[in-house]
Amino acid sequence: MVDKSKRTIDKKVIKDLAILLDELNLTEISYSDGKFSVSVSKGAVVSHASQLSKNEDENLPFSDKEDYENDPRVIKSPMVGTVYLQPEPGANKFVNTGDQVKQGQTILIVEAMKTMNPIESSLQGKVLKIFVDNEQAVEFGQPLMLIG
């Protein structure tokens, strides 16, 4: 009998996908063989030209997360799963709207297949909008936060 609770992930598949991502100049790539699926993505880079001034961020022109689909200031979900905005029940959130975040700072967790995956900001700036609620199901590529 096979013990499925001790499954290991083939890191070679992930490394190969990461290489393809760079070679083909993609931002996201997914692979599935029917029993196993994995997605790899890389964060967007923000230039200083897309930073908002203090007055601009108070009057954001968009109201729905769909308006931000191609915005380079958006952090998107790298996987399908459940979002957790805090490290454990009852704890403070990782970040709140208005907080300053640094590149590499954990901003939330996405649980996928019973694994807690810390999601780090690929951007540095102010959290302008949080598109998800705690314990909300998210799809791959779904906007999570706007950082400017």
* Beta-carbon count within 10 A of 4 CB: 6
* Predicted confidence (pLDDT) per residue in 40-57, tens digit: 776 543 333 333 333 344
* Beta-carbon count within 10 A of 120 CB: 15
* Predicted confidence (pLDDT) per residue in 10-38, tens digit: 677 777 777 776 777 666 677 666 666 67
Burial class (CB in 10 A: 0-12, 13-18, 19+), 72: middle
Taking the whole predicted model, whether its pTM rises above 0.75 is answered as no
On average, the pLDDT of the chain sits at 77
Alpha helices in 24-110 (DSSP H): 54-58
**Residue 52: both structure tokens together:** 């908002």
Mean pLDDT along residues 67-83: 87
Res 79 pLDDT > 80: yes
Q: List CB contacts of 67: < 8 A, sequence separation 6 or more.
A: 61
Q: Given this model, what pLDDT does residue 60 score?
A: 47
Please give the domain boundaries of the chain with CATH numbers for all domains: 1-42 (no CATH), 49-147 (2.40.50.100)
Mean pLDDT along residues 66-94: 88
What does the buried/exposed string (b/e) look like for 98-118 if buried means 16 or more CB atoms within 10 Å of the residue's CB? eeebeeeeebbbbebeeeeee
**Residue 107: both structure tokens together:** 């901003």
Q: Given this model, what pLDDT does residue 23 score?
A: 73
Bridge partner residues of 75 (DSSP): 145
